[in-house]
Structures are given as C-alpha cells and as structure tokens.
Amino acid sequence: MLRFAVCDDDAEELQRIASLIKGYNDIHPNLEVMSRLFQSPRKLGAFIENDHDFFDVYLLDILMPELDGIHLGKIIQHECHAPTIFITSSKEYALDAYGVHALRYIIKPVHRRQLFEALDAAVKFVSEFTKVVQVKSQDGLTPISPADVAYIENRARAAHYLMADGKEVIGQTNRGKFEESVQSVVEENANFIHPHKSFYVNLHFVRALKADYLLMENGTKVPISRRNMAETKHIYLEYLSRSGGRA
Amino acid sequence: MIDPQLAEYTISMLFLLSYLLLMLPMRYSKRVSIICAAVCFAITVAIDAEFTPWNNTDLMTGAVTICEAILVQGLAFFLCSYRDFRALFTGLTSAAYVLVGNIVFSVIYLVSGIGWLACLFQICLHTFLLVVIVMMLRKRYLYEMNVRSKGWGMLCLVPLMFYTTQYFLLSLESSLSLKVLIPCLCVLVLMILSYSIVIGALIDARHESELERDNGILARMTDNLKQQIELIQDSNERMTVIRHDMRHRVALINAYLDAKEYGRIRDLLSHLSGELDKAVLSRLSRNAALDAVLSLYSKRAEQAHVTMKCRVGVPEDLTSIDEVEYATTLSNLLENAVRAASEVEDPTKRFITCSISIVNHQMITEVSNSYVGDIKMNAQTHLPLSSQGSGHGVGLLSIKSYVGKQDGLFDLSCKDNVFTVRISLRFGE
C-alpha cells in the first residue's frame, strides 16, 4: 500500500488534492493508495519526528502558519528521505524547494495532468525502494531488498551482500560467473555499478569517490580498477546530478 | 665479501629506480610499476656482477653502461603516463641524482679505503637527497608534468650535458684520483646550481601564469557584476515607468468596470502582467554571485535565441567554496554553452540546462548544451580542441585545473549532439 500525506492549511485545497489523488487511484487500480490529510504542519512534523510514522510520499503546501513547507521538507529529508511534492501559489520558493531535493514543484491551481505526472514520478521512486528479491544464501532462500544493499563483494567464490544496516547475507558458493550470480539483485535497482571485477556498489550508499576507490557510508573502501575509473566517475557524477535535481 | 664497487652500483641502481617510481606520473598501478622496476633492478645487478665493468676495457665498460642506460630509460618510458620528453627528462634526472652519491662514494673510498664506510655515506646522501626532492619538489614536479607538455626536450640537455661531462672526466684517467674527482665535484656543484635555477624558473613561470589566471578571474567577475548592474538599472527604470503609469491604468480599469467592458480589463491586465515580467529580474539563486552569473547568461542565451533552464538549490552562503572562483568557473561553462548552442541552425534545438545542487556534502554542477559538428579531443588533456585556434580553449582546462586543486571531480561527455560537463566540489566539510 502507498501512503500519501497531504498537508495544507487551506481545508478546501486539502480536499481538492485528496480528490485528485483518489482520481489517480481510480486510473491505477492496481496501486493501493491511502491518503492522510493534515491541516496542521506541526502535527505532521510531530508524526515524523516523534512517532517516526513515515509516509511514502508527501504533498506539502509551502506558505503555512506554524511551520512552513520548506522546513517540513527538511525534516522529511532528514528523517526518511521520502519523495516530496510541493504545491504552492508562489514561484518564489522554487529555489528553496530545490535545496530540499523536492521531487516536483507545482504552482496552484493544481491541474490534474500536472499532479498525475508528479504522482507517477513519486510511485516510480517508491517502487524502486520496495522491491524484494529472493537470494540463494547459505541459510536457504533469503529475501533482499536491492535498495538496501550497500555493496556486493565476491569473496571466496561466494557473493557477500553487505546491507545498509550492517548485516551481511552470504550467497551460496558460486560455480559460475560472479556477475551472473548477482544479476537478479543488480538488475532490480538502477543504482548499481561495477567498479571492480569483485564488487558491485549501490551508488545510494557511496559517500565519496576518491582517487582509486569509492568511500562507502560505513567507511569501507571499495577499489576501482584503472580500466573502470573513467566510467565510474562519469556514472557517479551523473547519479549525484540526478539525485540533487529531482524537481 | 662483496666488492665495494659492485655494492656502489647496486645501491646507486636501487635509489635510481626509487627516484623513477616516485617522480614519474605512472601509467600502471603501483604494484605493476614496482614489479617492473624490480625486474630491471635484477637485470642490471646481474649485468654488473657478471661483467664487473671496472675490470674491463673501456669499450666493454662503455657498452655495459650504454646497455644499462637503455634499460633504465626504457623502463622510464614504459612506466610513464606520457611517452615523450617528459619520461626522458625524468630518466636523465634520475641518473644525475645518483651521480652525487656516487661521486661522494668514490671520494670517501679513495680517501679512507673503507668500503662499508663509503657505502654508508652513499646511502645517507642518496636518502637525504631523495627525501628533500620528494618533500619539496615532487608535488609541483608532477603537476608540471601533467599540465605542461612542451619544453621538456630542451630541459633534457641539462642532465645530459652534466652526466656526459662527468662520464668523460672519469674516463680520462685509468684509475680514480683526487685529480679527477675534484673537477667532478665542481661539475656536480654546477649541476645542482643549474637544476636549482631551472626549477626556480619553472616555479616562477607557474606563479606568473597563476597570477595571470587570477587576474583573468577578477576581470571576468568584474565584467559579470558590471553587466548585472546594468540589468538591475534597466529593471529599475522599467519599474519606475510602470509605477508612474499605474495611476492612469487604475483610472482606466475603473472606467472599464463602470462600462462593464470586462474583456478590455482582461487585456489591460494581461498587458500589465507582461510588462512586469519583463521589468522584474527573476532570482535564479539565493547566492548573489551565482545569481549575477546566471541572470547574465540567461539574458545572453535569450538574445541568442537559446532556451536556458536553470535549477539551483544552494544556500546563500557557499561555506567552504570560494564564491569568486566558483562563479568564474560557472561563467566559463555558461560562456562555452551559449556559444556552442547559438551555432545550432534550428533555433528550436538550441538549449542549455544548468543545475547546481548539494548532495552528500558535495556541490554538483551540471551544464548541458546542444551543439553542432564533431568535437575532437586533445589526446593529452582529454578535453575538446578549440575551434577558435591556438590560445583559445583554455576555459575547460582552467576549470579542470580548478576542480583538481579543490580535490573535486570533473567529467564531460558528448552524446547525441548534447555536450555535458559535470563537476563536484566538496561542500561544508
């Protein structure tokens, strides 16, 4: 199920957007969509910061009393990195919206086509992060979310999946090529690169690209072979550019 | 008991190869380079042990020396990223570097007759010189190697001349004596002085070129700000006119309202909205310096009928990034982009996109533009060759150099007639 949070101090506008989301769900009946409406940004902020009750997609107005949408967007990015769509009457805040990596910035009045395009982008973004693949591990079949895999290492002829939470899933001994054994995981997420013959890396968890290695969020250094250096740099910069400007 | 002369040659070769490994811009990985150097070392030691040049005829000695020189220079060429005079210069300089320790060995051995003492002095001097060279010169030397591709051929004459002079001086007498070694020491001192002068001249030239570059940056920045001021003045003038006319327009709107001529009111408001759009300068960035650059090039793009889209998500304060240098870098990128896009024949296919954002403590800048024709790349700099002739095309080189100094990343690509430059700079760390 996809959970949307809509926040606008104007009750009429809130209902209008909720109705549009329902219309979106009618066109995509396979998607299970649930919307929760918030007229108070402070209440939504409390949900996120205190209750850690995260939604999949946030649609926020910007000019609101108590707490403006940009600040709320920063809280969302800090807590859960969920895609955010800003819906506002003024172009002036577009610059600030880019600063919180907004997915889209829509000027009121909201047109159906515009909102649906933004919701398509949000759904695509979320689906990439929720896919699960069954991997043959030493403990049998283990479900792995490719979006949560930081990197995969070929060690002693077995694929080691290092997860973002620090856990490690060890695949079965590999009789064939390393690339073929991890294909089912790697092809489900567009953020994987192959900087070295023994490594696949999820760019989402790369902290920096150094002279001849990728520095991961957990401090691990993944080597880059000389042959792959130029391409790795190109793909990494392309990824950062894409991540920074979703709007 | 090892022959002192064999020990001298072995120690000398070890330090010579160490110098090459440290001072050459490497084509291969450290491991491969060290293995190649080790193989070269083994071969030269085997040749020295087998032929013991000091017990042979001059012809044989000469032949062995030439053979080893070819081996060492060949290794330098093989390992170096640049297979040109830069490799040769480094190879010749390595031979000149070990000459100092070798001469000192000869003097100590001649005076004391103690082999191990002479070897100890040789090792200490080699080590001392290597440490000084690496600590004081290596970074600048490698930088010059990467940036400067011309002039190394002439510089090769310096070590070649001194090495040849020393060799002939030493070969004048059948055995070593102070009569020979003292002039050798003098030539050595002259060599060290010559190197200091040459290196000093190179460093001065680099400083001058950096000053010129900085002046260029300031001049470009001043120019940008001047043009931004003109835009603001122009905007202010238009706003003054609009304010002046507002009273009349309000009177007109009231008259239309009384006459229920709503269509005319709509037309008037639409016209007024258009005037306001032209008069008001839209802000493209919270940072004033970037806003100046982006506004300026937006205007230039508009004049050249190029569609320019900007998406900038950076704070007012760029913290660790020098605003002036960065704004000039951005100017360079947009200047190239506007020029290239304006040459596209079909105006509907002329576009530029510029995005600047902060991701993972890095400021990512991407500028893409349409272009026509083929882009040829410089084999050494891996940057496009300028179509405007020599002396031009330094914009991207200067950007790449700036990014390198900031420990950032630089990448460019040409695909489907779209040219894209991406740079990443550390932000806030």
Q: In whole angstroms, give the CA distance from residue A165 to residue B46.
A: 56
Token pair in block for residue A184 = 């089912």
Q: Tell me what the mean pLDDT of segment A14-43 comes to.
A: 89
pLDDT band (50, 70, 90) for residue B282 = low
What whole-number distance in Å separates Cα of residue B89 and Cα of residue B101?
Answer: 20
**Partners of residue A238 in chain B, C-beta under 8 Å:** 422
Closest CA relative to residue A61, chosen from A2, A116, A6: A6
Q: Is B175 on the interface with A (CB under 8 A)?
A: no
Q: What is the pLDDT of residue A176?
A: 83
Per CB-CB distance under 8 Å, the chain B contacts of A101 are 313, 357, 359
In this complex, do B359 and A233 lie within 8 Å of one another by their Cβ atoms?
A: no
Mean pLDDT of the B129-137 span: 91
Domain ranges of chain A: 2-130, 133-244
Residue A247: per-residue pLDDT: 39
In chain B, residues with a C-beta closer than 8 Å to the C-beta of A236 are 409
Task: Give chain B positions within 8 Å (CB) of A196.
Answer: none
pLDDT at B391 over 50: no
Contact residues for B329 (Cβ-Cβ < 8 A; gap 6+): B365, B399, B402, B403, B423
Using an 8 Å CB-CB cutoff, list chain B residues near A95: 283-286, 312-313
Q: How many angstroms away from the CA of B280 is the closest CA of chain A?
A: 13
Average pLDDT over residues A124-135: 79
Which H/E stretch holds residue A231?
Answer: helix A229-244
Beta A84-88 vs B362-370: how paired, if at all? unpaired
In the prediction, which pLDDT does B141 show? Answer: 86
Write out pLDDT tens, residues B144-173. 887 777 788 888 888 888 878 877 777 666
The segment with the largest mean pLDDT, out of A5-14, A98-107, B230-239, is A5-14
For chain B, what is the mean pLDDT?
A: 82
Can you tell me the distance from the alpha carbon of A234 to that of B410, in angstroms, rounded to the nearest whole number?
A: 9
* pLDDT, tens only, B11-28: 999 999 999 999 998 888
**CA–CA distance, B378 with B399 (Å, rounded to integer):** 15
**What distance in Å separates the CA atoms of residue A15 and residue A221, rounded to the nearest whole number?**
50
Q: How far apart are CA A47 and CA B256, in angstroms?
A: 52
Confidence of residue B422 (pLDDT cuts 50, 70, 90): very high
Domains and CATH numbers, chain B: 4-176 (no CATH), 282-429 (3.30.565.10)
Does A46 reach chain B within 8 Å, measured CB to CB?
no
- pLDDT recorded at residue B388: 46
Look at residue A236 and give its three-state secondary structure.
helix
Position B200 confidence tier, pLDDT thresholds 50, 70, 90: confident
**Rounded mean pLDDT, B231-258:** 83
Residue range A40-56, pLDDT digits in tens: 998 888 888 887 778 88
Which candidate from B313, B422, B423 shows the least CB-CB separation from A98? B313
pLDDT at A142: 86
| Distance from the B364 Cα atom to the nearest Cα atom in chain A, whole angstroms | 6
Q: Which pLDDT band holds residue B392 (cuts at 50, 70, 90)?
A: very low
Q: Looking at the domain that runs over A2-130, which CATH code has it been given?
A: 3.40.50.2300
Task: Name the least confident of A188-192, B43-47, B61-65.
Answer: B61-65
Q: Do A238 and B422 touch (CB under 8 A)?
A: yes
| Nearest one of B409, B420, B329 to B369, comparing CA atoms | B420
Residue where the block lists tokens 């398509």? A120
Q: Verify whether the Cβ–Cβ distance B362 to A233 is below 8 Å.
A: no
Q: How far is A195 from chain B (nearest CA, A)?
A: 16
Encoding tokens for residue A76? Answer: 């969302």
Instruction: Tell me the C-alpha distance between B356 and B311, whole Å.
Output: 6
Query: Pick the residue with more confidence: B284 or B264?
Result: B264
What ipTM does this complex have?
0.73
Sheet of A33-38, strands arranged across: A33-38, A2-7, A57-60, A84-88, A104-107
B42 vs B227, more confident: B42
Q: Please report residues of A whose CB lies closer than 8 A to that of B313.
A: 95-101, 244-245
Contact criterion met (CB < 8 Å) for A245 and B355? yes
Confidence (pLDDT) at B58: 67
pLDDT exceeds 70 at position B385 = no
pLDDT grade, residue A138 (50/70/90)? confident
Out of A96, A98, A234, the one facing B357 most closely (by C-beta) is A98
**What's the pLDDT tens digit per position in A192-245?**
999 999 999 999 899 999 888 999 988 999 999 988 998 999 999 999 888 765
Helix (H, G, I), strand (E, B) or coil at A219: coil
What are the residues whose beta carbons fall under 8 Å from the beta carbon of A121, sequence distance 6 or more?
A: A83, A103, A104, A246
Instruction: Report whether pLDDT(B415) > 60.
Output: yes
Least CB–CB distance from A237: residue in B312, B315, B411: B411
Cβ contact B360–A207 (<8 Å): yes
Q: How far is B32 from chain A (nearest CA, A)?
A: 12
- Indicate the pLDDT class of residue B247, thresholds 50, 70 and 90: confident
Report the 10 Å Cβ neighbour count for B164: 10
Of A98, A206, A237, the CB nearest to B312: A98
Q: Confirm or reject contact between B120 and chain A (CB < 8 A).
A: no
pLDDT at B207 over 80: no
CA distance A135 to chain B (A): 30
Range 164-223 of A in CB contact (< 8 A) with B: 206-209
pLDDT at residue A107, rounded to an integer: 84
Biggest CA-to-CA distance, chain B: 121
Task: Answer whether B411 sits within 8 Å of A209, measured CB to CB.
Answer: no
Of A152-161, B125-134, B322-331, the least confident: B322-331
- Answer for the pair A48, A19: CB distance below 8 angstroms, yes or no: no
**Share above pLDDT 70 across residues of chain A, in percent, rounded to a whole number:** 96
- Assign 3-class secondary structure to chain B: CCCHHHHHHHHHHHHHHHHHHHHCCECCCHHHHHHHHHHHHHHHHHHHHHHCHHHCCHHHHHHHHHHHHHHHHHHHHHHECCCCHHHHHHHHHHHHHHHHHHHHHHHHHHHHCCHHHHHHHHHHHHHHHHHHHHHHCHHHHHHHHHHCCCCHHHHHHHHHHHHHHHHHHHHHCCCCCHHHHHHHHHHHHHHHHHHHHHHHHHHHHHHHHHHHHHHHHHHHHHHHHHHHHHHHHHHHHHHHHHHHHHHHHHHHHHHHHHCCCHHHHHHHHHHHHHHHHHHCCCCCCCCHHHHHHHHHHHHHHHHCCCEEEEEEECCCCCCCCCHHHHHHHHHHHHHHHHHHHHCCCCHHHCEEEEEEEEECCEEEEEEEEECCCCCCECCCCCCECCCCCCCCCHHHHHHHHHHHHCCCEEEEEEECCEEEEEEEEECCC
Considering CB atoms only, which of B28, B313, B366 is closest to A95? B313
At A237 the pLDDT is: 93
CB atoms B362 and A245 under 8 Å? no
CATH architecture of A133-244: Beta Barrel (2.40)
Rounded to the nearest angstrom, the minimum Cα separation between B394 and chain A is: 22
**Residue showing tokens 């596209």:** B344
